[in-house]
């Protein structure tokens, strides 16, 4: 089993290829890997609760841990209580921790 950290910075409502990245995360988890999807910059827009078609909920249901960067959330005015139940706010330090623990990282 490998550990993966996938970092998503793109807005899924503006970039069509984000869905492919979510699929990659789900497929890696389905193959028995430990996967974390870390949303940063405009990627956190998908973390809001009430989004009609929320790919992060599907990703989380596949066994992927979904985190949203606290700074990016604050910069976009998204309060922690407005996040989808499948997403947790986290500091950017999480990225460093994952890298230090041997996770393979991919930034999109």
pTM (2 decimals)? 0.93
* Per-residue pLDDT, 12: 86
Where would I find the beta strands (DSSP E) of 11-54?
34-39
How many domains does the chain contain in total? 1
Distance (Å) of CA 108 to CA 12, 50, 79, 80, 104: 11, 24, 24, 23, 13
What's the burial of 62, exposed, middle or buried (CB within 10 Å: 0-12/13-18/19+)?
Answer: middle
The range of the structural domain enclosing residue 79 comes to 3-107
Strand arrangement of the beta sheet that strand 34-39 belongs to = 87-90, 65-69, 34-39, 3-8, 104-107
Residue 28: CATH number of its domain = 3.40.1260.10
* Per-residue pLDDT, 52: 67
* Per-residue pLDDT, 53: 65
């Amino acid at each position: 089993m490998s550990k993966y950290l996938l970092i998503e910075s793109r807005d899924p409502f503006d970039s069509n290829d984000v869905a492919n990245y979510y699929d990659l995360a789900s497929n890696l988890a389905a193959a028995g890997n430990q996967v974390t999807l870390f949303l940063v910059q405009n990627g956190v827009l998908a973390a809001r609760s009430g989004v009609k078609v929320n790919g992060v909920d599907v990703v989380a249901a596949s066994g992927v841990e979904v985190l949203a960067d606290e700074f990016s959330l604050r910069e976009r005015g998204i309060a922690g209580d407005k996040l989808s139940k499948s997403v947790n706010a986290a500091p950017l330090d999480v990225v460093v921790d994952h890298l230090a623990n041997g996770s393979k990282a991919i930034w999109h």
